[in-house]
Structure 1
Amino acid sequence: MENMVPDAMCILRPDRDGVDQYVNAEQVGPRGVTVEVGRYDRVTQRVDKCHLGFSASGVALDPLALRYIWPSELDLMARLAGLRLLARWGGWSGEPFDSRSVRHVSVYGC
């Protein structure tokens, strides 16, 4: 299973209503601009975000809604389902999973 590792700096940033919002300029160039906007809700562990592309041909939207999960939470769910963690890497090339990893590939089995 591949999953992202939640960014604690984004998720744990103090906010009055418990919802963090952000805007990130991903690409800026002569042919257009790509911006990501999003909201993290710490209570529901939900992320709603959208990649917005602006160019001479118009605006393109690429929305994404997901619930984030910490690797330890995923491990607990697997244990409750009768599975155990067999291996975890920082990506599909088998790189180590460590504190700098932004994703993990976790292998579970009986």
Structure 2
Amino acid sequence: MTSVSLTLHGDPDEVDEQVRLLREELLHLDVDRVEFAADPEGAPAGTRAVDPAGIDTVIVAVTGSPVLIQLGRVLRDWVRRGSTRRITVREGKRSLEIIGANDADNAKVIEAFFRAAGED
């Protein structure tokens, strides 16, 4: 199983709404899990807490390369639908920032990132 962290950037009020909409969209994929990221600094000892006022990150757990490729395409398309949308994708020590992915070169880079994630 591969876990990928997706962090949205921008105005906090817009990001809060957008991260929830993105999560709903990702739940339609064949993913194992999509969760809001816990805030380790704000959580009481031994617990995991999510600050509903400051959600900007979701964690996606996926099994299989085809689903990772699908995830990359959904993220690329999601960024395209908003002129100010920006996502940082983290998988292990690797990260990729997706901004206005409109051209074929961006599509290739995004697909290569998610293909490599499936090979780990």
Structure-1-length-normalised TM-score: 0.30
Question: Which of the two has greater strand per residue?
Answer: 1
Which structure has more helix as a fraction of its residues? 2
Question: Could you say which structure has the larger radius of gyration?
Answer: 1
What TM-score do the two structures reach when normalised by structure 2? 0.28
Q: Between the two structures, name the one with larger relative contact order (CA 8 Å, sep ≥ 6).
A: 2
